[in-house]
Structure 1
Amino acid sequence: MSKIKCDHCHLEYDEDIMIKDENLHFCCKGCQGVYHLLKSDGLDSFYDKLGNKTISPPINSDKDVEKFDTKSFEDNFITQTEDGYKKIDLIIEGIHCAACVWLNEKVLFNTDGIIEANINFSTNKAKIVWDSDKINLSEIILKIRSIGYNAYAYDATIADEKATVAKRDFFIRMMVAVFATMNIMMLSVAKYTGFFTGIDDEIKHYIHIAEFIFSTPVLFYSGWIFFKGAYYGLKNRILNMDFLVSVGALSSYIFSLYILFGGKGESYFDSVAMIITFVLVGKYLEVIGKKSAVDTLDKIKSSIPLEAVVIKNKIKNILPINSVQVGDIVELKAGEKASFDGELISTTASFDESSLSGESLPVDKKKGEKIFSGTINNESVIRYKVDKAYKDSTLNSIVTLLEDSLSSKPKIEHRANEISKGFSITILCLSLITFIVWYYFGINFGFNYDGVSHFEKAFIVAVSVIVIACPCALALATPIANLIGISELAKRRLLFKEAKFIESLAVADTLVLDKTGTLTKGKLKVKKAKILDNNIHKLNLLYSLISNSNHPISKSVKKYLDENYELSEKELFDIKSINSKGLIAKYKNVDGKVFKLLGGNIKLLRDNKINYKFDSLNSVYLFAIDSQVIATFELEDEIKEGAKEFIEKMKSFGIDTIMLTGDNNKTAQKVAKEVGITKFISDVNPIEKAQYIDKLKNQNKTVVMAGDGINDSVALSKSDIAIAMGNSADIALSVSDIVLLDNSLKSLEESFFISKRTYKFIKQNLFISLIYNAITIPLAMAGFVIPLVAALSMSLSSLIVVGNSMRIKLKK
């Protein structure tokens, strides 16, 4: 059987297995697709440059790709967004620098039908959102494979296994490079000693051969990842850091081969090995730095139970957590962690909720009360009914928030990426200019280059310029600081839905606070109750009305009635909630007579033409049947611990703090005076709150709002950064950008502090990387830096950025 070459990779195969395409032959569909992709993009001159050399064929693009469009795959890995688009988390194999992330995002963003593509540099995890009417997931996978990477659905177990394999492969490549470089360094001692003391040409030739033997596996095995990254970057018209490393090392290697086979001058096999080794070691230390930053997320994820005991038809079944459905009955033993949110069926229970709230004391639960996923059952075996599937549970929502925040990018990172885009081509131009100037003008300063040709001097200096430039430090400056900042925030139970809110919070100048549940504990107590009519039937109607409200005041009044009376609920109809005022309902007695019930503040009564005088510094709840007031309640809310100190800290940050509340002016004034707030707005409804936020934004203020109730949700959605306290209503959580799980003002203060500190270090990192390049590139162009020192300097610049970012952790 005759052999024939593939027109793309130039490898030989049996003719009968080749794919024929007009007068062309390809070994696989991958080669065929890449050939036509290069041709359509006007890059077919690549094959002229390739000559007779061979390359590895691309990934087999069609292999197993149909599974990504199956129903079972969609059920397990794909979710739907609120806008009706599909979303998946993928792991992208082959990413080893920020430029790889940029390349993949650029290609995906330019693909019709893809709405969002965010890739986490530290975990290789990509969040992809797409319009299924325009593109299938299999087509997205093929697109990723076409540029030299591979993708598979994120699964924690599989991802960890693959990450371990990839890390092991990286470590082996690095150790091969370190071993070879150490031997080359010993040979270099002899060579450079001989350079000054005299050495036979024959011995020198043998040293060159030995250096060649050691440097070759370093370049082509250890350094293969750089060549691969450079190739796929060029394929997509991008000059990345891999290209600079590859050009510097390969140029030195080719020149050294010329010396080895009879040319005059010194070989630079030692520089080849050291360029690859220093950069590899630097990148490995980056990986270690990043790993310590994501340990918080790993700990949370590793604590999630993988199975649950489900009771069906009085039979216990052990099911994977993804198979448990809403309405299932789950059994939980003492010491076990709840995987789902649900409702307690057992009579009593005790839970450790410190993972969510930070409160170390156990929380006692009664039948019918809420169980949260991630909390631990303290005592006996209990059972509860699942009311949220695992994917919608509190614990999984926390993990998703953390992962999404690590994938997102703040504005300052986008600006840094814009700068780094043209960095590599600028460096290549400077290197070329340097070579021309040194070669044609015979410059001879910097290090002592006596005894070598003009070409060799020019070549050495030009290579040093390429190697010393570090776009990686610039690309790392923002993501590594964000990664550490997000992990530090997560340790303190501060969940940022996107990393960009670190920057927004750091530059904010106005903080708007709700009163109840934010500045105060939100646990109102009835301080004074006045029952004007002790008719038990009328009190039953009061009890029925407040049972239809989730407002903190209604809950507190209900608790007071439970403790002091034995009341029962009656059936009401036409129940209406009036924002910031209360509830109105109707009741029909056995005689068919209809009564109008009103429960709320004084405004509600006046709107319904009930003239009743009631003056109090506290929050009030009034109950009336038709036009007669039956009961009045005065309630008091305690100020949160540290509220005054928090307001003082905000002033020291230069943040203007405003209290916005629906309570009456006297109550608001009392709280404002206690905590030290000088500006407050009272008696405002949810719409007026939102209008006030708009007014502040129209004054070019960057507005942060913190609140916890349904009545805060509109205002929260209007603010630049919305912060929900941990006990917030679901709707407030959904429109918020930051969630404070432990519900404390100390956490709110820490969110500002860590954000400002992280943003400060991002700017420091950008300054360090820009100053590094501004100083070292001219030095290299002037001939003061040899290639191996350039390689060490390049790696150190990235490590300095990583090390500087780690300082975010140091200050408490």
Structure 2
Amino acid sequence: MSTGGRGQDTGTCFHCALPVPADCNLNVDMEGELRPVCCPGCKAVAELIRDSGMGRYYTLRDIPDPGVGRPPAETTEWQVFDSEDMLAAFADQSPDHAETTIYVGGMYCAACSWLIETTLGKLPGIESVDVSPVTHRVRVRWRLADARYSDILATLARLGYQPQPLAPDNATRPELIEQRIALKRLLVASLGMMQVMMFAVGLYAGEFQGIDREMQHFLRLVSFVVTTPVVFYSARPFFAAAWRGLIAKKPGMDLPVSIAVGSAYAASVFATFTNGEAVWFDSVTMFVFFLTLGRFLEMRARHRSIDRSTALSAKLPNTATRIEGDSNSVVPVSQLVAGDCVLIRAGDAIPADGIIQSGSTSVDEALLTGEARPQLKSTGDLIAAGSVNLDGLIEMRITRTGGDTTLGTISRLSERARYTRPAFVTIADRVASYIVVALLGVATIVAACWYFVAPERAFVITLSVLVVTCPCALALATPAAFAAAGSRLSQLRLLVTNGNAIEALSRATTVIFDKTGTLTRGMPEIKSVMVLDPSMTERDCRLIAAALETASAHPLARAFSMGATLPKVSRQHVEIGRGVSGTIDGRHWRIGSARFVGGGAANGSKSTGPSASNVFLAVDGDLVAWFDVEDELRPDVAATLAAIERLGLRTALVSGDNRNAVKDLATRLGITDFYSECTPKRKLEIIEAAQRNGERVLMVGDGINDAPVLAGADTSIAPAHGALLAQTSADVIMLGDSLQPVTTAIRMSSKTMRIVRQNLAWAIVYNALALPLAAAGLVPPWLAAIGMSASSLIVVLNALRLSRFN
């Protein structure tokens, strides 16, 4: 009885599908039929699978999975990875050897690890195979003269796994290196603290009950040995930062930390080898541990904002199937250019931005827009890099690649925001620097006073003052909150591109909305055409309009896009917010608003609905036609406006459309302040007038056409418009089709600033209470370490509450 499994050919192993050596006579009995295997290992695994009642595995493994884009098992399909470019990108090379890390999908247990390690190890030229079933990664080293990268990948695919080469940079990203080092420092500090605290119990007990001098010296000596790596390894970043601050003449919060740790350690070492009265190794290790823990948690909050960009970049595939005439070829994604046609199978990630040429499918855009529901796409629809084709086979013509894609632009804008320091943070850092100097002065005064009152206590009390008043909490209060807020906003479909946006949003009192592409979805359609020139047809008017509108970035211009050959336009000129002019066949054409076109357009038909607009076409001053263009309102406009007003903010509407259309929409949405037929200059005047009246203006509008308007507002939000995303000048970008993120941004900004104020208040109150107690000698160094560290942890954990904001 045939199982339908691989290995039917007597020259191929039934289990792993590799060639069976000529001198191998091993077989395995599968359902009464002998199957050849290549080695005792494959025989043992096959018999184990059979005896466990899982023999059907060999039947099921060859049934294709229609829902998952499985990688090809044929070596030829992987040969693209043998090119110099791909080897350089995915392998560490020396003159004779190469080493790579491969993510192996479908690897779940130690048996998988054994199978992969054994099978790859048998390939010619393979020198070492290291498998980690926990991380699903395989590290392979091979001789370039005897083995190829494609052989390794194809072998893994033939075993039924899904290999994905990993670029070395993915494992050595700066934030990952920082995290690994920080974790090591934290581990050393924690182990050191626990051990030294155990020794300290004996020393403290000895002070009350008596202790043998030799035993005391021994406990101090082992405490010194354990504390030394904590000070010189775990606390090294504090000393380095303190030194940099001194060199730059800008003392930071690490200076008092370093003085406290260094002096306590030095005094303890001196006491250990001179049989002094007391040592403070326990306080040193505890201080370093808690401070390192606080820094680690703050770092993780900061890295969360980076993780989204990394996740976005990871969604791009390494290769794509390019259509070349009657044949297809697998090429690196880096070789794709605009105009190429690629084949996208079910389960494949989209390699670049493009337009579907044939086929229909549903696409997962969750990572780009936050929308969990699959989006239906068909011929002519735009599709973005990084989204995933779920179920259909489509052909796509590429329009943008690499950093020019929507995905690349989002990553770039996120990066820009991370390197923009909010003014609030800059002020807090400056204040913290002055506080450090003041605290050092206070510590000096305390030391001098106690030197005359009780010299034997002066050092311990000064040490406590330095530790307990370290302004770590004050320095972390603002950046921790802003980092957590930025990370959470990105999860809620809001991309912050300006570090000052959160603070500005929290102070907004008026929200001004643009109409087209903002309150509407930015996907306009021509509902009707009125042709006024008998010598022209509707198609003639559409072609001329489409040709003129190719130069415009206005959202309404998308309604005129046509796949046909368009007339050639010369001397094309765009007047932002008004229209486009140009010469076609010696005649001067204009398309746009009634005022821009002239020729009696102002007396033309009015819009048929609140979300409709009139676009007029004229030639040589005579009106030729008008287009009724309708752009559907976003589904949650009314609910969003109501939510904003409940927050106590005023709303207004500005638009370049005619008065009737704007008035109809404002009435429908309950907006009392509205302005029609506005040029960008007029919109800016409206914003400036509101600001003169004491209003803090949030402008929500098109980030391209209204760039000066958005720049003039106190802060701004713009919807993402795909190809135009890179040109936006907005402080915050909404991803997805909903307008609700505007409300989310306002609420989140208010909560963020509330958290910042709470953190600052806590830091100030803590220092105000702790300083007198420490100066009075009521706080021992170990308690000072706990208090300071707890203060910093409270600030960080309070900021992390923003990560749960809903």
* Residue 506 (structure 1) aligns with: 506
Q: Which residue of 1 aligns with 2:388?
A: 376
Which of these residues, 635, 642, 654, is aligned with residue 636 of structure 2?
642
- SS of the residue corresponding to residue 415 of structure 2 reads helix
1:547 maps to: 546
> Could you say which residue in structure 1 is the equivalent of 2:443?
431
| TM-aligned CA distance change 1:622 to 1:286, over 3 Å | closer
Aligned: 1:786 with 2:786: no
Deviation at 1:181, TM superposition (A): 2.9
Q: 2:424 aligns with which of 412, 423, 437?
A: 412
- CA offsets 1:555-609 (integer angstroms, 9 cap, x no match): 65889xx9xxxx9966676666566555566666xxxxx877665554456x335
- Contact 2:518/2:718 (8 A) holds in 1: no
Q: Per-residue displacement from partner, 1:468-487 (whole Å, max 9, x unpaired)? A: 12222222212211111111
CA distance in 1, matches of 2:631, 2:650: 24
Is 1:665 the counterpart of 2:659? The answer is yes
Give me the whole-angstrom Cα distance separating, in 2, the residues matched to 1:615 and 1:342.
36
Letter in 1 for 2:771: I
Contact (CA 8 Å) 2:370, 2:491: kept in 1 or not?
no
Residues 707, 728 of structure 1: 8 Å contact kept: no
Q: Secondary structure at the match of 1:511?
A: strand
| One of 315, 318, 333 as aligned partner of 1:306 | 318
Aligned to 1:131: none
Which of 703, 714, 717 is 2:708 aligned to? 714
Structure 1 residues 246, 682: closer, same or farther in 2, change over 3 A?
A: same
CA RMSD of aligned residues (A): 3.6
Paired residues of 1:473 and 1:797 also in contact (CA < 8 A): yes
- Offset at 1:514? 0.7
* Contact 2:529/2:626, CA 8 A, preserved across alignment: yes
**1:21 equivalent in structure 2:** none
Q: Secondary structure at the match of 1:547?
A: helix
Q: Is the 8 A contact 1:332 1:377 kept in 2?
A: yes
Distance of aligned partners of 1:610 and 1:157 in 2 relative to their CA distance in 1, 3 Å threshold: closer
Distance in 1, matches of 2:376 and 2:186, equals: 51
8 Å contact 1:690–1:718 — kept in the other structure? yes
Distance 2:754 2:723 in 1: 33
Q: Distance in 2 between matches of 1:211 and 1:711?
A: 68
Displacement after TM superposition at 1:280 (Å): 2.7
Among candidates 584, 587, 599, match of residue 608 of structure 1: 599
Partner of 1:518: 518
Q: How many angstroms does 1:538 deviate by?
A: 3.0
What percentage of residue pairs aligned between the two structures are identical?
30
Q: Distance in 1 between matches of 2:268 and 2:363?
A: 70
Q: Is the 8 A contact 1:540 1:570 kept in 2?
A: no
Equivalent pair of 2:355/2:379 in contact (CA under 8 Å): no
What is residue 290 of structure 2 aligned with on the other side?
Answer: 278
Distance 2:356 2:560 in 1: 24
> What is the match of residue 260 of structure 1?
272
Per-residue Cα deviation, 1:262-299 (whole angstroms, up to 9, x for no partner): 56533323223322233233333434444455443343
For the residue of structure 2 that corresponds to 1:422, the secondary structure is helix
1:460 positional shift: 0.6
Q: Say whether the 8 Å CA contact 1:239–1:425 is kept in structure 2.
A: yes
Unaligned runs of 5+ in 1: 1-71, 77-154, 443-453, 589-593
1:362 maps to: 375
**1:439-483: CA deviation from partner (whole Å, max 9, x where unpaired):** 21x2xxxxxxxxxxx322111100001111222222221221111
Structure 1 counterpart of 2:798, from 792, 804, 812? 804
1:459 matched to which residue of 2?
A: 459
> For residues 736-789 of structure 1, what are the alpha-carbon distances to aligned partners after superposition, in whole Å with 9 as ceiling and x for unaligned?
222111142101111212122222212222222222222212211111111111
Is the partner of 1:391 in helix, strand or coil? helix
Per-residue deviation, residues 386-434 of structure 1 (Å, max 9, x unmatched):
4333022211111122222122211110000101113333222211111
Structure 1 Cα separation of the partners of residues 327 and 569 of structure 2: 41
Closer, same or farther: CA 434–522 of 1 in aligned 2, 3 Å: same
Report the Cα distance in structure 2 between the residues aligned to 1:395 and 1:524, rounded to whole angstroms: 24
**Aligned-partner residue type, residue 661 of structure 1:** S
In structure 2, C-alpha distance between the alignment counterparts of 1:805 and 1:205, rounded to whole Å: 45
**One-letter amino acid of the counterpart of residue 502, structure 2:** I
Q: In 1, are the aligned partners of 2:599 and 2:618 still within 8 Å (CA)?
A: no
* Alignment deviations for residues 125-156 of structure 1 (CA, whole Å, 9 cap, x no partner): xxxxxxxxxxxxxxxxxxxxxxxxxxxxxx98
Aligned to 2:49: none
- Is the CA contact 1:727–1:743 (under 8 Å) kept in the aligned structure 2? no
Partner in structure 2 of residue 447 of structure 1: none
Q: For 1:363, what is the secondary structure of its paired residue?
A: strand
Task: Check if 1:227 corresponds to 2:226.
Answer: no
The one-character-per-residue Cα deviations of 1:683-724 (angstroms, maximum 9, x if unpaired) are 222332233333334445432212227542332233232322
Q: Secondary structure at the match of 1:658?
A: strand
- Cα distance 1:194–1:665, how it changes in 2: closer, same or farther (>3 A)? same
**Counterpart check, 1:190 vs 2:209:** no
CA distance in 2, matches of 1:725, 1:586: 33
Matched ranges for 1:608-757 at <5 A: 608=599, 612=603, 614=605, 618=609, 619-621=613-615, 634=628, 636-708=630-702, 711-727=705-721, 730=724, 733-757=727-751
State the Cα distance separating 1:250 from its structure 2 match. 2.7
Cα distance in structure 2, aligned partners of 1:761 and 1:530? 57
Q: Which amino acid aligns with 1:648?
A: A
- CA 1:382–1:783 in 2, change beyond 3 Å: closer, same or farther? same
Q: Give the Cα separation in 1 of the matches to 2:538 and 2:224.
A: 96
Quick one: distance in 2 between partners of 1:759 and 1:506? 7
- Displacement, 1:318? 4.8
Cα–Cα, structure 1 residues 240 and 317, in superposed 2: closer, same or farther, change >3 Å? Answer: farther
Counterpart CA distance in 1 for 2:546 and 2:493 is 32
CA distance in 1, matches of 2:528, 2:743: 34
CA distance in 2, matches of 1:568, 1:388: 21
Which residue is equivalent to 2:133? none
Indicate if the aligned counterparts of 2:256 and 2:466 stay in contact, CA closer than 8 A.
yes
Deviation at 1:531, TM superposition (A): 5.8
State which drifts further: 198-207 or 682-691: 198-207
2-structure distance, mates of 1:244, 1:220: 17
Alignment CA distance shift 1:718-1:327 (3 Å): same
The one-letter code matched in structure 1 to 2:734 is: L
Q: Secondary structure at the match of 1:804?
A: helix
Tell me the CA shift for residue 616 of structure 1.
Answer: 5.5
Q: Does residue 1:795 correspond to 2:789, yes or no? A: yes
Deviates more, 1:622-631 or 1:334-343: 622-631
Choose the corresponding residue for 1:249, options 248, 261, 282: 261
Instruction: Supply the distance in 1 between the matched residues of 2:724 and 2:589 (Cα, whole angstroms).
Output: 28
2: distance between equivalents of 1:264 and 1:628? 102
Instruction: Indicate which of 412, 421, 443 corresponds to 1:400.
Output: 412
Q: What CA distance in whole angstroms lies between the structure 1 residues aligned with 2:578 and 2:262? A: 76
1:807 to partner: Cα distance: 0.9
Q: Which runs of 5 or more structure 2 residues have no equivalent in the other structure? A: 1-84, 90-166
Within-5 A mapping of 1:72-83: none
Distance 1:586 1:433, change over 3 A: closer
Residue 173 of structure 1 deviates from its aligned partner by: 3.9
**Superposition TM-score, scaled by structure 2 size:** 0.70
Counterpart of 1:410, as a letter, is: P
Q: CA deviation at 1:239?
A: 3.2
Q: 1:779 to 1:719 in 2, by over 3 A?
A: same
What TM-score do you get using the length of structure 1 for normalisation? 0.70
Q: What code does the residue aligned with 1:184 have?
A: V
